[in-house]
Amino acid sequence: MAKEYDTVIGLEVHVELDTKTKIFCGCSTAFGAEPNTHTCPVCTGMPGSLPVLNKQVVEYAISVGLATNCRITGFSKFDRKNYFYPDNPQNYQISQLYLPICTNGFVEITGEDGNNKKIGIHEIHMEEDAGKLIHDEWEDCSYVDYNRSGVPLIEIVSEPDMRSADEVIAYLTKLRMIIQYLGASDCKLNEGSMRADVNLSVREAGSETFGTRTEMKNLNSFKAIRRAIENERERQIDIIEAGEKVIQETRRWDDNKEYSYPMRSKEDAKDYRYFPEPDLPPVVVSEQWIEEIRSRQPEFRDEKMARYIREFDIPEYDADIITSSKKMADIFEATVGEGANPKKVSNYLMGETMRLLKILEKEPEDIHFSPENLARLIKLTDDQVINSSVAKEVFEKMFEEDVNPEEYVEIHGLKQNNDVEGLKEIIKQVITENPKSVEDYHSGKEKALGFLVGQTMKATRGKANPEMIHLLLKELL
Amino acid sequence: MDILDFTAVGLADEIKKGEVSAQEAVEAVFSRIDNCEDELNCYISFDRMEAVKRAQQVQKAIEAGEIHSSLAGVPVAIKDNICTKGMKTTCASKILQNFVPTYSAHAVKCLEEAGAVIIGKTNMDEFAMGSTTETSFTGPTKNPWNTACVPGGSSGGSAAAVAAGECYYALGSDTGGSIRQPAGYCGIVGMKPTYSTVSRYGLIAYGSSLDQIGPLCKDVTDCANILEVITSYDEKDSTSARRKDASFTEALVDDVKGMRIGIPKEYFGKGLEPEISAAVLKAAALLEEKGAIIEEFNLTLTDYAIPAYYTIASAEASSNLERFDGIKYGYRTEVYEGLHNMYKKTRSEGFGGEVKRRIMLGSFVLSSGYYDAYYLKALRVKALIKQEFDKAFSKYDVILGPVAPQTAPKLGESLTEPLKMYLGDIYTISANLTGIPGISVPCGIDSKGLPIGLQLLGDCFREKNIIRTAYAYEQARGKFAGPDVSGCEHSLYEVE
Amino acid sequence: MAKVISDETIEYVGILAKLELQEEEKEQAKKDMAVMLDYIDKMKELDTEGIEPMSHIFSVNNVFREDIVTNGDDRENILANAPLKKNGMFNVPKTFE
């Protein structure tokens, strides 16, 4: 009979902080620039260059630490982590090993059993990101772009407190929401502004000692994380069942092939020779500074939900969904701020927006229509300039390209036809052409009326006001 | 008076008065270079055309009253580990043989603003690792006092160039004595300021917690003036200090009455040449005559400074030199198979023996299992040494002793036994470990005809104490004649 | 006590430091390192119990930059010294198999 196994998981989560400049130099962190155009001697490791710490990075790290119940380190230092790789221009990464900025925190999730569960945070430290390697398809070489080199990161190291993929995803979702609410990062897994490495081991159910763990890298979505966890659990159980030993190693997940392989090399000694960074003085965080940052912490989800229900009079159900993402909450408030009816805004976000995100496999953070345009669209329907089916079409366009609905409706001639006399003519025509339905209506079949409304809409190419058609049809019949 | 006999400040004065021009000074320096450089090899590179153009520019600015500095128009040489925009900066290494920085070190910018005319880049030990300038990729520099001898190091090219009149003053860097010791060997003045005084931005790092840029020059007056110009807070160097007391020329006062001077007994133990001991003690006696209070005391940790220093310096160096990998700049090996082979071949071919030795030692002391026993231990020893110096400076304004246990050794004698060479740093390295300033002033000539150096150490941020003491000593000592370089002149018509 | 540095140690340090030594260099390196480590061991004579390791000499702290973009496009300068480059990027040997 097969043994039962428990899975033990800890995460190392890297989050790119949303600062304007890099951690140690005044280069822009903006995405999408031409290769190496956001670089300087510091972030390309030129001889004689020296790092100077971006204060905002420390403040973001502290604010994430406070929001995850961490102890903030009063006297914190940077260390050098030495390893050779071309994406790392100095061949050492400035990071924190011995005295990280935050330690000993936790976040609460809903555990496997449905009860609240604390996931411990061992530490949060600050470090610099690496550059990007681009591989040449044709020639035997790669290219380095240092635009991302020196972009600030925090690494959030959890305790090995998770026991399943569900818990891992609950933890990541919670962490992401906290950081998004803080405005410290957009935390997009697919774009790499949030990256999770999974440390996983298995042990016989009930055992108190940990098994040998592996570290899994290259997980770019929740789906990949789930698959990789399940795959790695099975792989380790197979090894143990075969009487062999799990090797402690780093593995790379290939989500297309749904398997992982070891990232081993005899040139990779894994001996990082950490030592205190002599070019950076320590960071001293006073109680006063902590209090200043605490007082600037934004409204978190629970407070926001309560306020939405109170202030905007929307149902709890709506508030819950809208506040599940900082981005959605921001759009909601901004759109309401433009004068739109809160419930109508909420309907758009919970309905069409969620539907389209799901179809396109996107996250709320990917929304790029503006609150102004959503407010305009709602106003167009309120004023009966367009009908609801046109509104749906315009919204889809807005979701794709953030078009201005007023202009779009104008250009594409989508205004609702409110010309009563003209409409009457069309309806008369429809009545003449559909004697069977007219007869059915008169014999009490209400459905027939719907058919006639539809025919009229078709004849007006969707531009007529359906309520008006309804009234006029009844009158003319 | 020969134009080359002026001090830097003296020359600037003459230029200001219109007695000589900046161009004439540059021409004089280059004619000395023409005569001596083949023999001495002080420079790795220089650019005559650029220097002349720059001199003309500066001369105009001086005449227009746009530059008032005490160094305006004076030709200067820069050690080749200090970045100069548009001028090759090689660290005397094959691995950086073609590196042309696109930025200048902050200290170089300070000099340029003061109207300095850069002649070229001086020879040094590769990456400043060495005490003789023999580890240079371009071959050794010779001592102008005796070309069979080394000029000291690592700033040997800077020291020899100043002594030989191939420039009026120079910048060097000092990680364990690399300014003070060659200054001593070449009979000139050299100073390492308090750590954090001169920005390290643009100084190619060897030991980041120990490195400082400083002047090599003809006398203490030049030294104070140069230091005043290059002392400047720099927001690009996080360890740069905002000095409020940087008017070092105010300390050029011939008065040491009541100055408390301590002489560490350990600096006069075995290994020190008796002639040096005698010359240094004679200097102390001169200061005593002028009213200084001289006292002997103990620096019991002296012998522990060298092991702590080589552990820390090698560890930092092993990390600082990782960036030389054949990707972004410098040398890349011709033939390789894959990334790691490229790294290894590039670095093995690009670095010289001494550099490799220190990188390997440094990598070892930081490696897993040894970090505590070596690196952390060294940081603890450093803390103890710092405490001992703090205690000493609670009693003394200045610590007086020799710069080095011997005068300039013969070429080729030092590199065969690295440890012996390292032991020669015994009097200078504590200043780097503890951050304190130190100055080297010539105090005699030994029986071999080689200069002897006196070293004065002061407490952190108390450069004025050692400048004042050095200046008073210099006044009492009288003129210190430079080497006779007529021997290295050769006729243009000579056929080899 | 005289230290002996093994071939494995020199090999390992070579991997860490990315240095590849010729045979005769290797023998010399082993000797040099042994001599230096023996010498450095002198530190062990000192009791450093309870002494805080001193990495920075001065008690300066919190040296920060404000989060303001100060650098523009400097690509030409950044690539000026590259031994091999293409399309505005540094060229390196292939980084994965």
Range of the domain at A437: 420-476
Residue of A nearest to C84 (CA): A143
Residue of C nearest to A46 (CA): C78
Burial of B205 (0-12, 13-18, 19+ CB in 10 A): buried
Q: Is the pLDDT of residue A113 over 70?
A: yes
Domain assignment present for residue B366? The answer is: no
Range of the domain at B152: 3-301+383-487
Domain assignment present for residue B182? The answer is: yes
Structure confidence at residue A364 (pLDDT): 87
Largest CA distance in chain C: 58
Domain assignment present for residue A464? The answer is: yes
Q: Where are the domains of chain C?
A: 7-45
Whether residues A281 and A312 share a domain: the answer is no
Domain assignment present for residue B355? The answer is: no
Whether residues A266 and A147 share a domain: the answer is yes
What pLDDT digit, counting tens, does each position of B290-333 carry? 999 999 999 999 999 999 999 999 999 999 999 999 999 999 99
What pLDDT digit, counting tens, does each position of A249-261 carry? 999 999 999 999 9
CB neighbours of residue A334 within 10 Å: 16
Count up the domains in chain A and report the number.
3
Catalytic residue among B154, B196, B318, B414: B154
Residue C52 contacts A, CB cutoff 8 Å: no
Structure confidence at residue B168 (pLDDT): 98
- Cα B401 to its chain centre, rounded Å, is 18
Q: Is the pLDDT of residue B121 over 80?
A: yes
Q: Is the pLDDT of residue A158 over 80?
A: yes
Whether residues A171 and A252 share a domain: the answer is yes
Structure confidence at residue A405 (pLDDT): 92
- Report the distance separating Cα B267 and Cα B404, nearest Å: 9
Count up the domains in chain B and report the number.
1
Task: Please tell me the distance in Å from B251's CA to the nearest CA on chain C.
Answer: 24
Q: Domain boundary residue among A237, A262, A289? A: A289
Q: How far is CA B73 from CA B18, B28, B61, B170, B258, in A?
A: 11, 13, 9, 14, 38
B208 upstream amide cis, omega within 30 of 0: no
Residue of C nearest to A17 (CA): C67
Q: Which two tokens stand for residue A316?
A: 């709890």
- Report the distance separating Cα B439 and Cα B430, nearest Å: 13
Chain B contact probe: residue of C7, C51, C71, C85 with most B CBs at under 10 A: C51
Q: Is the pLDDT of residue A230 over 90?
A: yes
Whether residues A108 and A31 share a domain: the answer is yes
Domain assignment present for residue B241? The answer is: yes
Residue of C nearest to B372 (CA): C53
Of A26, A28, A145, the CB nearest to C89: A145
Catalytic residue among B69, B136, B155, B178: B178
Q: Can you give the CATH number for the domain in which A462 is found? A: 1.10.10.410
Q: Is the pLDDT of residue A420 over 80?
A: no
- Report the distance separating Cα C86 and Cα C84, nearest Å: 7
Q: Do A27 and C56 touch (CB under 8 A)?
A: no
Is residue B79 among the annotated active site residues? yes
Q: Which CATH architecture does the domain made up of C7-45 adopt?
A: Orthogonal Bundle (1.10)
CB neighbours of residue B415 within 10 Å: 18
Closest CA to B438 of B256, B123, B241, B223: B223
Structure confidence at residue A89 (pLDDT): 98
User: What are the counts of helices (DSSP H) followed by strands (DSSP E) for chain B?
Assistant: 15, 11
Task: Please tell me the distance in Å from B260's CA to the nearest CA on chain A.
Answer: 33
Residue B435 contacts A, CB cutoff 8 Å: no
Mean pLDDT of A219-247: 95
Q: Is the pLDDT of residue B491 over 50?
A: no
Q: Is the pLDDT of residue B492 over 80?
A: no
Whether residues A425 and A369 share a domain: the answer is no
Mean pLDDT of A48-68: 98
Catalytic residue among B21, B70, B79, B136: B79
Give the pLDDT band (50/70/90) at residue B489.
low
Q: Hey, which chains touch A, using 3+ CB pairs under 8 Å?
A: B, C
CB neighbours of residue A286 within 10 Å: 11
In DSSP terms, which residues pair with A106 in a beta bridge? A120
- Report the distance separating Cα C70 and Cα A27, nearest Å: 6
Whether residues A152 and A257 share a domain: the answer is yes
Give the pLDDT band (50/70/90) at residue A383.
confident
**Token pair 């890298």 in the structure block, residue:** A217
Structure confidence at residue A1 (pLDDT): 47
Radius of gyration over alpha carbons of chain C, in Å? 23
Is residue B178 among the annotated active site residues? yes
Q: Can you give the CATH number for the domain in which B173 is found? A: 3.90.1300.10
Q: Do B380 and C60 touch (CB under 8 A)?
A: no
Average pLDDT, chain A: 92
Residue type present at position B32: R
- Report the distance separating Cα A116 and Cα C33, nearest Å: 57
Q: How far is CA A340 from CA A320, A332, A381, B298, in A?
A: 20, 10, 11, 83
Q: Are B45 and B138 in contact (CB under 8 A)?
A: no
Structure confidence at residue A252 (pLDDT): 94
Q: Do B328 and C21 touch (CB under 8 A)?
A: no
Residues of chain C in contact with residue A276, where contact means CB-CB under 8 angstroms, are: 55-56
HSE-CB for A127 with a 13 A CA cutoff? 24
Give the pLDDT band (50/70/90) at residue A317.
very high
Structure confidence at residue B420 (pLDDT): 85
Q: How far is CA A31 from CA A27, A57, B228, C79, in A?
A: 12, 18, 44, 20
Q: Is the pLDDT of residue B60 over 90?
A: yes
Strand A141-145 versus strand A132-135 pairing type: antiparallel
Question: Dihedral of CA B108/B114/B120/B122: which sign?
Answer: negative
Radius of gyration over alpha carbons of chain A, in Å? 29
Q: Do A281 and B238 touch (CB under 8 A)?
A: yes
Q: Which two tokens stand for residue C51?
A: 């002494």
Q: Is the pLDDT of residue B338 over 80?
A: yes
- Give the ipTM of the model, two decimals please: 0.96
Residue C71 contacts A, CB cutoff 8 Å: yes
Give the pLDDT band (50/70/90) at residue B280.
very high
Q: How far is CA A476 from CA A432, A442, A452, B437, C4, in A?
A: 11, 12, 12, 104, 109
Q: Are A185 and A193 in contact (CB under 8 A)?
A: yes
What pLDDT digit, counting tens, does each position of A170-212 carry? 999 999 999 999 999 999 988 899 999 999 999 999 888 999 9
Domain assignment present for residue B447? The answer is: yes
- Strands of A92-95's sheet, edge to edge? A92-95, A79-82, A275-276
Domain assignment present for residue A294? The answer is: no
Task: Please tell me the distance in Å from C7's CA to the nearest CA on chain B.
Answer: 13
- Report the distance separating Cα A306 and Cα A324, nearest Å: 13
Whether residues A18 and A40 share a domain: the answer is yes
What pLDDT digit, counting tens, does each position of A96-109 carry? 999 999 999 999 99
Q: Is the pLDDT of residue B450 over 50?
A: yes
HSE-CB for A47 with a 13 A CA cutoff? 34
Q: Is the pLDDT of residue B25 over 70?
A: yes
What pLDDT digit, counting tens, does each position of B407-442 carry? 999 999 998 888 888 889 999 999 999 999 999 999
In DSSP terms, which residues pair with B458 in a beta bridge? B398
Q: Is the pLDDT of residue B39 over 90?
A: yes
Task: Catalogue the long-range contacts made by A388-397 (C-beta closer than 8 Å, 24 or more residues apart).
Answer: A388/A466, A389/A462, A390/A414, A390/A416, A390/A462, A390/A463, A392/A352, A395/A348, A395/A352, A396/A352, A396/A356
**Which has more confidence, C3 or A9?**
A9
Whether residues A200 and A271 share a domain: the answer is yes
Whether residues A13 and A136 share a domain: the answer is yes
